[in-house]
Amino acid sequence: MVDEFDVAQALRGGIPDRARAWAFVRDFAAAWAEPLADDAGTRAEELERAEETLGLALPTVFREAYSLLGTRHDLTGNQDPLLQPSELFVHDEFGGMLVFRSENQGCALWGVRLRDLDRDDPPVFVQSRDGWIPFLERVSLACIELVLSETLLDGEGRLYNACELPVGLIRELPIRFARVEFPAYPMWTGKEESPVCWFSAPGKLLRLDGLSDHSWLHVRGRTSADLESLCATIPGHWVHGYSEPLEAADLPF
């Protein structure tokens, strides 16, 4: 049942290939938002126009990702959005990068090296404060991270909260919640906020940005009751009361 959907359980065993990644995205969307309809994807002609404009062929994984959820902005565009096909561009640094995602204020970019475009599911790099660094080994993994993070940081902020955790509470997270089998990856904001780790319980999603003292924990409940229960479980100093929507100025990023 949807009420019993748990991200950690759904990703148990890892994500060995693209088929597994897309199956998870479908299941997650159905549980946390709305099922992916047949018209949720970008039209093939839009992708073809983007390839013509760029003068290059998109890897198979990009075609699959855009065809699956290209118009579902609730899953891909709340904070650091997936670029639309017409917005894709080539960044000249690092030997040339095809950029497909941008931080909401343009402070970071996510991309694939041009020399890797002949691979079906190439590695992803992020332009961080430390320069272009490896992000995740495959675009399909980066799409899962995108969907999780963009859902976590929902546009209205009604089901989201955050707090800084002392080391003692960080050590307790794996006791109170299940660790998601997802590769650790860096935050674009720098080494202090890395690596990023995910935890979950049914109806609850948690992202820990870093393992040092007072690292930020971002949480999301599928319902307001889920969020209230989650916040009550962790005796942190939450940035906002979880019964009220967050204003943009209250967000810690």
Q: Are 215 and 209 in contact (CB under 8 A)?
A: yes
DSSP H or E segment with residue 18: helix 18-32
What pLDDT, in 10s, does the model give residues 17-30?
999 999 999 999 99
pTM value?
0.92
What pLDDT, in 10s, does the model give residues 97-140?
999 999 998 899 999 999 999 999 999 999 987 789 999 999 99
Q: Are 18 and 143 in contact (CB under 8 A)?
A: no
Instruction: Please report the sign of the dihedral spanned by the C-alpha atoms of residue 29, residue 34, residue 35, residue 36.
Output: negative
- CATH number for 2-149: choose from 3.30.420, 3.30.300, 3.40.1580, 3.30.160: 3.40.1580
Domain ranges (residues) in the chain: 2-149, 155-250
For the cut 60, the answer to whether the pLDDT of residue 46 exceeds it is: yes
CATH class of this structure's domain 155-250: alpha beta
Q: Are 77 and 66 in contact (CB under 8 A)?
A: no
Query: In the prediction, which pLDDT does 253 show?
Result: 41
